[in-house]
A and B are shown apart, each in its own frame.
Chain A
């Protein structure tokens, strides 16, 4: 059946089964491939998008439940927090294989949008759902701190 979705500020219409997770609608039908498939059961965070501003595991969010929500994928990230996170990721050379990093960036951005100066413990709590098998965790944490510091120095503009 047909569903209307608002993704990165644009309206998209798709004709899929209602049980299809948003992840697969976005990847297989709308061809935004920045968001990754890692586990399918909301355990690894590779599929993280922002849904109404909240970091959400889209491998378990059905298309039917995504209608009427404001969805942001890695391709649509624009906030100052997002730009600061991505700049820090490059500066600190965070990614290795990189497959989990779209999800890491989405979760880190959502964290900084809610909390401009997270502690280590707050970072660990916010990032607990994002697995990185290359073990880039220390650099991710440092990257979030760097982005927070950069945003503070520039008064919130990246």
Chain B
């Protein structure tokens, strides 16, 4: 069984609905995490130099190193740093003595508390770990203090801990000196621990703590691609050029004659070439002669698929949200605005192409990769091999980017590596996808069409709105469908619209979920990648039609939404909205959106020359609750903007007769340095529990750019990527 891992949605078993998740993320409750049992681990070190395990998350070595086990995948979002900060804060460790390591796959110990299973996504890493990591640190500190109290024969209450030193009067000891004795202390009741108040934080909120995912500036950080095990073979797979195609027959004669190639065989996803190194495998693959059976393959073009979607939004869909009778009001309205939007398929195009190292031996499997869904992958591997999940050992490594791709609901690339390893028992196999395999391998952000129609009152304000969305469901057909789909509605297809933040008295959101053969998956900020665009471009068009200021028009519709109001106002203030004089040919646009429990507003300046443009500057404001590491938060906002901007400017996967047209970065043109704007990020001061940071910066950027272009050119752009005419 897999996880509904990315969406901040918890399974029914933990009884947390999306609504209550948002409440948790936004308003916060410690109730979810209190009562988490650290396992009451009694440490039994073999030697005095061993790391002493204080609980599932904290070990301390006699050499004074504090090791924090990180239950989430570090893929650049800064989770090593964030979670370790929470531990070190309550442990009162010195930041320089803290090191991090990925936790093993162990759902009981390391579940995402908002998902009920071990997995990373939905920008939940900090939101679900904030209290748990602090409790882990506080529990370890209590054990250090208890050990010192025994050694020094003083009351524990008189002992202080600061910057990694335990003190009483003139006596003091390092954590390392106390580690062996402290680890023998009984684990305290986590519910009885007193955690710091925000005013007492010394590390949380500090801007100068260096990241803990080190070795990335000098090539020593290890990724899946870097794993080399004794006897290991490298695998590449010839996949069907069309989605759903199957191998009819193949001839490997020439491949087997290539130096370095060791094996060729067929698995369900294609023809595997195993070799001593990557190059031999790739050259061997080029020599394969394969006949494909396309009888079940997707053979349509994206132009045909989008034409179908444009037709669908002219018809009534399944009702995803409704208030009042928007349809009736619209049919009688004299002043109506309507826009149709189109969104292409998008590849994640993370820098490290998909890969996975697997070894299958008897009734055990061992894996090495950037594992984003430990519980789901472990269960899928175990099921495939017919072994117990506990016999699947997962060594999680840094991931060279993810953006959603590594948490595949079908564990696609993971199972592919296991199927290959099954054929060579005892031999470790590194499955490597080429960039072309990765780009053409599907699991894209789905293509969509939207139609938004509003009735406007005499003041130019919307009195009713009808929103129609057409596009593939990400959840349908996956093991998450039962939990993620309500009455046939995939809530991720309409998130951000079905819970529209603007106050419009009558509203109806309808959804068409056509199916086709293109595999789809979540992509940084999931449904918000498209819903924020149509919502924010549409509201801007309404403001222009009313002759109103775009910021003020929004504020008037957000009077009952203090959070979006505050974020929008601060963005306007910091960007000097309405007062700053822009150079000739520059335009300015705004967008605000709430996702993953956090609210972000972005104000964009563009310069336009003919029908080309450059995004010059972005002022961003985020409310993400407590910013545990403000520098990491700013880095994530910068990153989320760059990722969304790439899609706004150029990213697009197209199919011609079922064949993906893009092959590599020369045809899938992602953002490069010359197109990166100056980004200025402001963080709303907050004492609310932390909410999402990795994704919420992405949704507002594309609409803010489109709105800036509309402001200067008068062109309302409704198709991504953006092109001026």
Contact = CB atoms under 8 A, between A and B. Distances in A.
A107 B350 CA distance: 20
A34 B666 contact: no
B400 A96 contact: no
Interface in B257-304: 259-260, 276-280, 282-283
A127 interface: yes
Nearest to B670: A131
Interface string A94-105: 111111111001
Interface string B193-225: 000000000000000001101011111111101
B678 interface: yes
B684 interface: no
Provide the main secondary structure of the chain B interface. loop
A43 interface: yes
B329 interface: no
A136 B631 contact: no
A86 B218 contact: yes
A38 interface: yes
A39 to B, nearest CB: 4
Contacts, number: 181
A20 B352 contact: no
B77 A133 contact: no
Most buried by A among B222, B234, B349, B352: B352
Interface in B341-356: 349-353
Contacts of A95: 76, 211, 213, 216-217
B57 interface: no
A11 to B, nearest CB: 21
B635 A24 contact: no
Nearest to A35: B219
Contacts of B646: 133, 135
A44 interface: yes
B720 interface: no
A132 B666 CA distance: 15
B635 A93 contact: yes
Interface in A111-138: 123-124, 127-128, 130-138
A35 B225 CA distance: 10
B162 interface: no
Nearest to B401: A97
A75 to B, nearest CB: 6
Interface in A1-56: 16-17, 19-21, 24, 27-29, 31, 33-41, 43-44, 46
A89 B221 CA distance: 14
A95 B282 CA distance: 30
B676 interface: yes
Nearest to B81: A93
B226 interface: yes
A34 B643 CA distance: 25
A66 interface: no
B110 to A, nearest CB: 21
Nearest to B226: A33
B210 A93 contact: yes
B23 interface: no
Given A101-B217, A102-B219, A134 B674 contact: no
B398 interface: yes
B217 A99 contact: no
A130 B646 CA distance: 15
Given A24-B278, A90-B210, A96-B77, A134 B216 contact: no
Nearest to A86: B217
22 contacts: A16-B277, A16-B279, A19-B279, A28-B277, A37-B278, A40-B282, A43-B664, A46-B351, A75-B219, A90-B210, A95-B217, A97-B350, A97-B351, A98-B221, A100-B400, A124-B673, A131-B351, A133-B401, A134-B76, A134-B401, A135-B646, A136-B642
Interface of A: 16-17, 19-21, 24, 27-29, 31, 33-41, 43-44, 46, 73-75, 77, 86, 89-90, 93-102, 105, 123-124, 127-128, 130-141
Given A33-B219, A39-B665, A99-B223, 8 more contacts: A21-B279, A24-B277, A33-B225, A75-B218, A90-B217, A99-B351, A135-B642, A135-B646
